[in-house]
Amino acid sequence: MEKSGGPPEYQPAPTVAYQPQPAGQMYPDMQQQAPQQTVVIQQPTSTVTTVVTQQPTAMVGWSTGLCDCFQDVKSCLCSFICGNFYYATLATRMGENCCVGCSGYGAGCVPGGHMAMRSRLRGTHGIQGTICDDCIMASFCLPCAMCQLSREMDKLGYSPNC
């Protein structure tokens, strides 16, 4: 081997016969694998809907009229003579704080207290009327409305007045 400053001499590569493979068999010794996919199958569920049909209860009127104050003279006198105290007593009978009853006659502890008490009693016991009616009664007929509320509570079995 002679040493010279030129590039080394390379032997030519041996000739290899090439046979093209049929399509799909480029690498016969390797099996093609399909990419793996995670499939989530959601099982069908059944939904049961229960419909409860309740017959509407018939609304009833107040058992006594607004101007039937003399059917219960005690509540009539209490509402006209010492209205705030009587009003606090009615609130206590309904299970409310006595201050709710202080809204009568301008004491102003809870504005709209009488209207709220009438609305609650009506809603609880299915008595006909509207919040507008309750507002008018509380604004213009408070002593008579208190008497009516007391008589209704007596009829419905609320604990008696003191």
- Which long-range contacts link 151-157 to residues 24+ away (Cβ below 8 Å)? 151/63, 151/64, 151/68, 151/71, 151/72, 151/75, 152/62, 152/63, 152/64, 152/121, 152/125, 152/127, 153/90, 153/93, 153/94, 153/121, 154/72, 155/63, 156/121, 156/125
In tens, the pLDDT along 24-67 reads 555 555 555 666 777 767 777 777 777 766 666 778 999 999 88
Please write the tens of the pLDDT for every residue from 86-129: 888 888 898 888 877 665 555 545 568 888 889 999 999 999 99
Give the torsion sign (CA, 66, 55, 157, 123): negative
Cα angle at 158 between 153 and 162, to 5 degrees?
Answer: 95
**What is the spatial distance between Cα 121 and Cα 26, in angstroms, rounded to a whole number?**
89
Domain ranges for the chain: 69-156
pTM for this entry:
0.60
Tokens of 48: 């049961």
Mean pLDDT rounded to a whole number for the chain = 77
Q: Report the pLDDT value the prediction gives residue 20, as an integer from 0 to 100.
A: 62
pLDDT of residue 80: 86
Largest distance between two CA atoms of the chain? 144
